A = this chain, B = another copy of it.
Amino acid sequence: MRAEIITIGDEILIGQIVDTNSAYISTELNKIGIQVYQITSIQDDRSHILAALSNAMNRVDIVLVTGGLGPTKDDITKQCFCEFFEDTLVENTQVLAHIKNIFSKYIKREPLPANLSQAQVPTKAKVLFNNHGTAPGMWMEKKDTVFVSMPGVPYEMKGLMQQEVLPGIINRFNRPYIFHKTLLTYGLGESAIADRIEDWEEALPDNIKLAYLPSLGRVRLRLSSKGPDKFLLRQAVNGQMEHLRSMLEDIAVGYEDETSVTQKIGGYLLEKGKTLSLAESCTGGALAQEITQHAGASAFYRGSVIPYATELKTSILGVEAHLIEKHNVVSIPVAEAMAVQATKVFASDYAIATTGIAGPDKGDGVDEVGTVCIAIATPKGVISEKFLFGAVRERVIKKSVNKAFEMLLKEISKN
């Protein structure tokens, strides 16, 4: 069972927005055993939309289309669906009532003709109710291929996927089971890993696929398999994964699951009734932002200070000035003092501190660009490490964030 995602909208093709919808849709389809065979992004252009629909029909069983359903003239997906399915538009009274309700309740003005026209749907379409917006989704079929049209606005699309599209696909198709398991490793390059596991990789059964995913100091190793029997599939992949992990025990840091590292940290802290604070210098809020993006952070996260200017490390956090003078602001003693002081200032059990040179300029530091010191204060003491994360600012910050959470998780999970 294969799917194609078609995103319609000039804004993706001129680079004005990054397409995040496709990753979401792919993840959700994978969970129910549908393989995404291709993602195609095209403009709001009639002949190109028609060609893309027609090509996709020859490649896959399910075509999920996003975008081009707005009330303005540049949005033409619905007209193209009519042409492709040789159909005409008709007003749907349920959608019409929904649009009027949204306008009277939230927008507080009379809908315009363009707004009301969003209630027009192809006669052959099964209308999918969009409770987050005015544009309905549409489910149509041609030559055994299912075509679904959804708005491109991410939260409207997500609502439709969960409430209408995924249940519809589950109901309509017999699907195999897809299982991925990903091992996280740190400290060895992909080719060195490949060399170490070569014999095992050669002997992998045909239905299990290995992928190397290198990124910012980590290599993730993903095993994937697909088949009708969920139990056998999981057993086979888990067996191979155990074997793989045993060969990489020195660099393995755990399995990747849908829970992010910060969610795992939150889970541990909540379970143990402990709290966290942050003292971020070179990461400049990136750690806090990762923590607070998840609901429920206030139950364990006390707060942060970002003492970007050096003297604030003393005035706000209470790091002794002589420490900074003696060791330099980017140093293990200063990172450790920042972490310990954060636990005091914020009355938290744990704290992360970062101090470093994100670059591209050295600033007033004596160290190389990319030098970062990370310290973790715990109820049992403080640990720290100095890193060299390269010269690209964005990567230095991201690697620091990854490493800091990895270090914290390790400390929390062993206490």
- Give Cα distance in the complex from A107 to B217, angstroms: 12
What is the number of residues of chain A that contact chain B, defined by CB distance less than 8 Å?
A: 102
Complex interface: chain B residues within 8 A of A289 (CB): 284-286, 288-289
CA distance A354 to B222 in the complex (A): 41
Q: Which of A175-225 contact B (CB under 8 A)?
A: 180, 182, 189-192, 194-195, 201, 209-214, 222, 224
**A304 in contact with B302 given A11-B211, A114-B191, A115-B191 (CB within 8 Å):** no
Q: Which chain B residues border A392 with CB–CB below 8 Å?
A: 155
Question: Could you tell me if B360 and A345 are in contact, using CB atoms closer than 8 angstroms?
Answer: no
Q: Find out whether the CB atom of A308 lies under 8 angstroms from the CB atom of B312.
A: no
On whether the beta carbons of A301 and B308 are closer than 8 Å, the reply is yes
Beta-carbon contact of A71 and B12 below 8 Å? no
Residues of chain B lying within 8 A (CB to CB) of residue A306: 278, 285, 288, 292, 303-306
CB atoms of B211 and A74 under 8 A apart: yes
| A41 in the interface (beta carbon within 8 A) | yes
Complex contact B363–A298 (CB within 8 A):
yes
CB distance from A65 to the nearest CB of B (A): 14
Are A361 and B292 CB-contacts (below 8 A) given A39-B12, A71-B194? no
Against B, the Cβ 8 Å flags (1 = close, 0 = not) of A299-329 are 0011111111100100010000000000000
- A14 B43 Cβ-Cβ under 8 A: no
A190 and B304 in contact, given A155-B395, A195-B114 (Cβ under 8 angstroms): no
